[in-house]
A = this chain, B = another copy of it.
Amino acid sequence: AGNAEAGKARATVCASCHGQNGISFIPNYPNLAGQKEQYLAESLKAYRDGLRNHMVMSPQAKGLSDEDIANLAAYYSSLDPKPE
């Protein structure tokens, strides 16, 4: 599994759409907080490798290493899905 602390550091750009706490600002962008770690990792790889396409996510994922992906997945899955 990845390192959530390292994921948090890597997530600054993600927060602009997915929210500081992983709850998205944008109605058709998903909440990530508390999502399944493996699902998150597989989604990021799919965007990076072109199996899944999105105008924003595809370029965002292009530059991610496997380690970045594991850390981001660990970070977002560790967040509370219902922050107070």
Chain A residues packing against B (C-beta within 8 Å): 24, 26-31, 33-39, 42, 52, 80-82
Contacts of A42 in B (CB 8 A): 28
Whether A81 pairs with B37 at a CB distance below 8 angstroms is no
> How many copies of this chain are found per oligomer?
2
**In whole angstroms, what is the CA distance A81 to B26 when docked?**
18
**In whole angstroms, what is the CA distance A24 to B33 when docked?**
14
CB distance from A10 to the nearest CB of B (A): 21
Whether A39 pairs with B52 at a CB distance below 8 angstroms is no
Contacts of A38 in B (CB 8 A): 27-28
CB distance from A81 to the nearest CB of B (A): 4
Contacts of A82 in B (CB 8 A): 34, 80-82
